[in-house]
Amino acid sequence: MDLRALLKTDIGALLRQKLGRAPAVPPPWPGPGYLRPAQRTHHLLTVTSQLAALIKCNAPLVHGLEVAAVDAPDSKLESILLALRDDLAAGLALWESTANLHRFFPRYYTDLIKAGEQTGTLGEVLDGLSELIILRQSFWDDNRSFIVFYVPSLLFLQCAIALFVATAVVPQFEGELAFFGAEMPPIAQRLISAGEAAQAFWLALPSPPWVFALLLLLTPVAVAAFVAHRARRRGWINRQMGRVLARLPLIRSIHMKCNLAHVALVLERLTAGGVPLDEALASAAALDINAEHAEKMARVRTRIEQGDSLSQALRAEPGIPAAFSGMVSVGECAGLLPEALGRLGRLYRRQTLKLTKMAIDALLPLCIVTAGAFTLAVCLSVFSVAIAMADGLIHAM
């Protein structure tokens, strides 16, 4: 074999052939990356609308997605539509195609698509997903400026003012106080010590220091984003986060109702389509919910297999609201369990957004109190220095 032929040879394939191993299958394309979440949401809504229109018209999805890709306004949307087309042409179900594109399609989206395909209500599911995407985007648009700009700017300015006073204003009075034989007040000493520590830390940074300071500020955000990303794929992290969230007063209720809303909406589709309740609960345990809630759904399924009703099994689970199991009991008695589950899912979804809005509104007074604490500490430091100077002047006279 000459050198040119050797260079063209797949060394990995030859090794796998010698060792008797199957060739490695590359993972499916996860979808495009987005720097702007608003663009991703807009594309998600566009794809959902296209799919809903094709389903309602009974049009073939493969051909319809190919035509839609031709008219796509940008390359990212075109690549998503073509990826869906290729997966469907290869024989995959729509929910499997969306699961492959997990960077673009959220897990809850795939869960509902799967339930819609199993029950033949895919068009209704897509309409509901469009409404949910619009509702969430509207909520985020109303609160983005407060969360992203107002709160960080307020805290940053307060810290900058306190640091300036601690390093450039209060230390100037040390000489005057020493001249009058007075000592620096304790609160002013603490402020000066904090300023000196911050100044020493800044000087210890490699040049240019502002780059490293910016990296340090962004590190907690990056760590939080990484943990949230890995929590979707690591059950242990997901379970620990669920335990933490279950102990926070307001966040606990938001977290619980968000998970139960998703479970109720999927169970509505499955039970309305004639799927046995134990199989529907097995699907619910595999949804995009916290690991603790997934374990609860698995235990509920076990109790149903032992002969309990859904409401009885839910009542036996700690952490499930009595109102939730009571509404399920009413639906069972009336023979309208899917309708009751659908009402519960939509009610809890609205309550989740309402409680989230309450939490954001409560953040504003908390930020004002925090900023007031900074201002109070700075003012007390300055006034205590002034009082110490006045006392020293009086004693000197």
- Spatial separation of the C-alpha atoms in residues 338 and 274, rounded to whole Å: 10
User: Both 310 and 236 in a single domain?
Assistant: yes
- Spatial separation of the C-alpha atoms in residues 286 and 210, rounded to whole Å: 46
User: Both 287 and 149 in a single domain?
Assistant: yes
3 state DSSP class of 1: coil
**H or E element in which residue 152 lies:** helix 151-164
User: Both 113 and 197 in a single domain?
Assistant: no
User: Both 124 and 152 in a single domain?
Assistant: no
Q: Which residues contact 58 (CB under 8 A, 6 or more apart)?
A: none
CATH code, domain with 47:
1.20.81.30
What's the total number of domains in the chain? 2
What pLDDT, on a 0 to 100 scale, did the predictor assign at position 397?
65
Q: Longest C-alpha distance within the chain, in Å? A: 104
- Spatial separation of the C-alpha atoms in residues 49 and 126, rounded to whole Å: 8
What pLDDT, on a 0 to 100 scale, did the predictor assign at position 8?
42
User: Both 262 and 379 in a single domain?
Assistant: yes
User: Both 92 and 155 in a single domain?
Assistant: no
The residue assigned the tokens 């899917």 is: 338
pLDDT in single tens digits along all 397 residues of the chain:
444 444 444 444 544 555 555 444 567 778 787 777 788 889 999 999 999 999 988 889 999 999 888 888 888 999 999 999 999 999 999 999 999 998 899 888 999 999 999 888 888 999 989 988 888 888 877 777 766 677 777 777 777 777 788 777 777 777 777 776 777 788 888 877 887 787 777 676 666 655 666 666 666 666 656 655 554 444 445 555 666 666 777 778 888 888 899 999 999 989 988 889 889 999 888 887 887 888 899 999 999 999 899 999 999 988 888 999 999 999 999 999 999 999 999 999 999 888 888 887 777 778 778 777 777 877 887 778 777 777 777 776 6
Query: Residues in the chain, how many?
Result: 397
Task: Count CB atoms within 10 A of the CB of residue 12.
Answer: 11
Residues 189, 197 contacting (CB under 8 angstroms):
no
Domain ends where: 113, 135, 157? 135
Is the residue at 345 inside a domain? yes
What pLDDT, on a 0 to 100 scale, did the predictor assign at position 47?
92
Domain ends where: 77, 100, 135? 135
What pLDDT, on a 0 to 100 scale, did the predictor assign at position 25?
53
Is the residue at 325 inside a domain? yes
Q: Which amino acid is at 128?
A: G
For residue 270, give both structure tokens: 């499955």
User: Both 187 and 96 in a single domain?
Assistant: no
For residue 58, give both structure tokens: 């009974």
User: Both 73 and 197 in a single domain?
Assistant: no
What pLDDT, on a 0 to 100 scale, did the predictor assign at position 268?
92
For residue 385, give both structure tokens: 């220095």
Domain with 248 in it: 143-397
Is the residue at 215 inside a domain? yes
User: Both 337 and 290 in a single domain?
Assistant: yes
The residue assigned the tokens 């409404």 is: 131
Residues 144, 269 contacting (CB under 8 angstroms):
no
3 state DSSP class of 30: coil
User: Both 97 and 157 in a single domain?
Assistant: no
Q: Which residues contact 231 (CB under 8 A, 6 or more apart)?
A: 237, 238, 241
Give the long-range contacts of residues 352-355, CB within 8 A, separation 24 or more.
Answer: 352/254, 352/257, 352/258, 352/261, 353/135, 353/136, 353/139, 355/250, 355/253, 355/254, 355/257
3 state DSSP class of 131: helix
Is the residue at 392 inside a domain? yes
Is the residue at 6 inside a domain? no
User: Both 324 and 193 in a single domain?
Assistant: yes
Is the residue at 278 inside a domain? yes
- Spatial separation of the C-alpha atoms in residues 140 and 132, rounded to whole Å: 12
Is the residue at 7 inside a domain? no
User: Both 252 and 349 in a single domain?
Assistant: yes
Residues 52, 94 contacting (CB under 8 angstroms):
no
Domain ends where: 135, 159, 186? 135
Is the residue at 2 inside a domain? no
pTM beyond 0.75, yes or no: no
What DSSP character marks residue 181? T
- Spatial separation of the C-alpha atoms in residues 215 and 234, rounded to whole Å: 27
